[in-house]
Amino acid sequence: MTPDRTVSSTQERVGGFLRRHEGLVALALGLVAGVLGFLRIPWRDGNVIWAEDGAIFLQERLAGAPFANWFTPYDGYLHLVPRMLADLAVTVLPIERYAIGMTALTCLVAGGVGALVYVCSRDVIEWLPARIALAFVAVGLPTVTFEVLGNAANVHAILLWLAPWLILVRPRTRVGAVLLGVVGLVVGLTEIQAAAVLPFVFYRWRDRFTIPVRAGLALGIAAQLLTTVLSPRTGRDGAWPDAWSTFLGFVVNALMAPWAGPRHTASVILRFGTLVAVPIALAALVVLVSVLWRGERRQKMTAAILAWSAVVVWTAGFTLNPNPEFFYADFGEQEWSTYGVLRYGVAPGMFVAGLVLVFLAVLRQRARRPAARILPVVLLAAGIALTAFQVTTVTTTQREGGPSWPITLDEVEGQCEVADPPEQLEIPIQPPGWFADVPCDVLEPAG
């Protein structure tokens, strides 16, 4: 047997084993991804509570009862998974562990999303290395740790990464269809932007096993839309961003920063000007067109959903939350020199990463000669190496420098031990100016 045939036979045996034990493989990938996500967050930052985690989800759970706030609107939307995580943290952990507990739980959710994406992509991508890479996108994207990973306030962005794959999955059994339908419902009840995939909900609609999945997702989104009508979000002041700022923001946040890092992205813009965004966007368009031209029907649909979701989610997040500080068309040298990624670009960056992996899978599948099949392997390895470099060199998060939750509790617990204690204390969290109101009768046992 020639060396090429030996390698091919080994690959087939490994691939066959992984496919026969897909559930166990997905579980293992999810656990590894969750642990990797947790390790990406510095321990000091993991003990800092971020924004709504403390001021809304934990605070309202401490003031209420288990399950009581799962479907309570906040800022016009439902936030099911963050409220579930806060409920679990309060129920099973001592109060001084809430911060690190929420960090760990949200990383496990990200790992679970990775496992589900691995399963849902089985009918789209046959090349296992690309499928495995998909499982790590939610925790491996270099920009995900800055604000999104490790806190419940932004876990919706990670669940949003799962939404397109719930449209693409083909469950094998009724039980699997119902379980994925429940997952779809949870995604819909957590992230209103999952509505971006609804234009594709009738894709392969005659497959009866796909109906529960899409019905669950659509039902959750319908509940979100009803909620935002009955309990509208607060108004956002300020001018709407212009079209060039929206386009430029998409390029720098979803196409450039995940792979070049914020500092090098800014350097490129400063050296070549903002028009450099045009050829970079055209390169992404070439990747999309290549899949639409050479891919199979299922791969074409995947590319279309991912590209559509990337553009729609970025545009919706950026324009519906206008902030003149991020109108990129107005940036000068000083603004670019302090450029930092926006959380609105994280989910679109995941969709773009998924599109690239689909492209590599199609490239390998269409290769006619063994030598040509090496190219996607080299490109995938280069992408993984670049990602690993970015991950190991950029470890800052938005929680850096914030008040450590356990240390702060230790400092203030004496205020609840006086003769006439207050009903609750304002515990500072990150970002500055945010607080969590904690009842004294909850704090006292911690002492």
Structure confidence by residue, pLDDT tens digits, 285-311:
999 999 999 999 999 999 999 999 999
pLDDT of 373 reads 85
Note whether residue 10 is domain-resident.
no
| Helix 297-319 × helix 243-250 angle, to 10° | 130
pLDDT of 446 reads 47
Note whether residue 379 is domain-resident.
no
187 and 309 share a domain?
A: no
Single-letter residue type at 380: L
259 and 361 share a domain?
A: yes
**Degrees (nearest 5) of the Cα angle 364, 367, 369?**
125
Three-state DSSP state, 212: helix
| % pLDDT > 90, the chain | 76
187 and 202 share a domain?
A: yes
- CB 49, CB 430: distance < 8 Å: yes
Average pLDDT value for residue range 125-149: 94
Label residue 124 by pLDDT band (50, 70, 90). very high
* Closest by CA position to 193, among listed 144, 150, 155, 234: 155
Computed over every residue of the chain, the mean pLDDT equals 91
Label residue 447 by pLDDT band (50, 70, 90). very low
- What's the rounded Cα separation, in Å, for the pair 46 and 89? 14
Within 13 Å and on the Cβ side, how many CA atoms surround 175?
Answer: 0
Helix, strand, coil percentages, rounded to 5, for the chain: 70, 5, 25
- CB 173, CB 75: distance < 8 Å: no
Farthest-apart Cα atoms in the chain, separation: 85
Structural domain boundaries, residue 49: 16-234+395-447
pLDDT of 56 reads 96
Q: Is the pLDDT of residue 268 over 90?
A: yes
- CB 85, CB 109: distance < 8 Å: yes
pLDDT of 79 reads 97
Average pLDDT value for residue range 404-422: 89
115 and 202 share a domain?
A: yes
Average pLDDT value for residue range 310-329: 92
**Single residue among 350, 366, 382 that ends a domain in this structure:** 366
- CB 251, CB 280: distance < 8 Å: yes
Q: Is the pLDDT of residue 313 over 90?
A: yes
Q: Is the pLDDT of residue 1 over 60?
A: no
Average pLDDT value for residue range 129-133: 96
Tens digit of pLDDT for each residue in 158-184? 999 999 999 999 998 999 999 999 999
Note whether residue 350 is domain-resident.
yes
Note whether residue 385 is domain-resident.
no
Q: Is the pLDDT of residue 12 over 70?
A: no
Phi, then psi, of 407 in degrees rounded to 5:
-70, -40
Note whether residue 390 is domain-resident.
no
Label residue 340 by pLDDT band (50, 70, 90). confident
343 and 435 share a domain?
A: no
169 and 41 share a domain?
A: yes
Tens digit of pLDDT for each residue in 53-98? 999 999 999 998 999 999 999 999 999 999 999 999 999 999 999 9
| % pLDDT > 70, the chain | 94
108 and 141 share a domain?
A: yes
Look-up of token digits 């971006």: 196
Note whether residue 132 is domain-resident.
yes
**Single residue among 329, 351, 366 that ends a domain in this structure:** 366
Note whether residue 378 is domain-resident.
no
Instruction: Kindly tell me the burial class for residue 329, based on how many C-beta atoms sit within 10 Å of its own C-beta (0-12, 13-18, 19 or more).
Output: middle
Note whether residue 9 is domain-resident.
no
**Single residue among 347, 366, 385 that ends a domain in this structure:** 366
β partners of residue 101? none
- CB 346, CB 398: distance < 8 Å: no
259 and 161 share a domain?
A: no
38 and 126 share a domain?
A: yes
Q: Which two tokens stand for residue 392?
A: 């190991």
Tens digit of pLDDT for each residue in 103-119? 999 999 999 999 999 99
314 and 362 share a domain?
A: yes
pLDDT of 7 reads 46
242 and 107 share a domain?
A: no
142 and 251 share a domain?
A: no
- What's the rounded Cα separation, in Å, for the pair 412 and 410? 6
Label residue 396 by pLDDT band (50, 70, 90). confident
pLDDT of 208 reads 85
Tens digit of pLDDT for each residue in 194-249? 999 999 998 887 788 899 999 999 999 999 999 999 988 876 667 889 999 999 99
- What's the rounded Cα separation, in Å, for the pair 48 and 137? 24
Q: What pTM was computed for the model?
A: 0.93
- CB 395, CB 42: distance < 8 Å: yes
Number of domains comprising the chain: 2
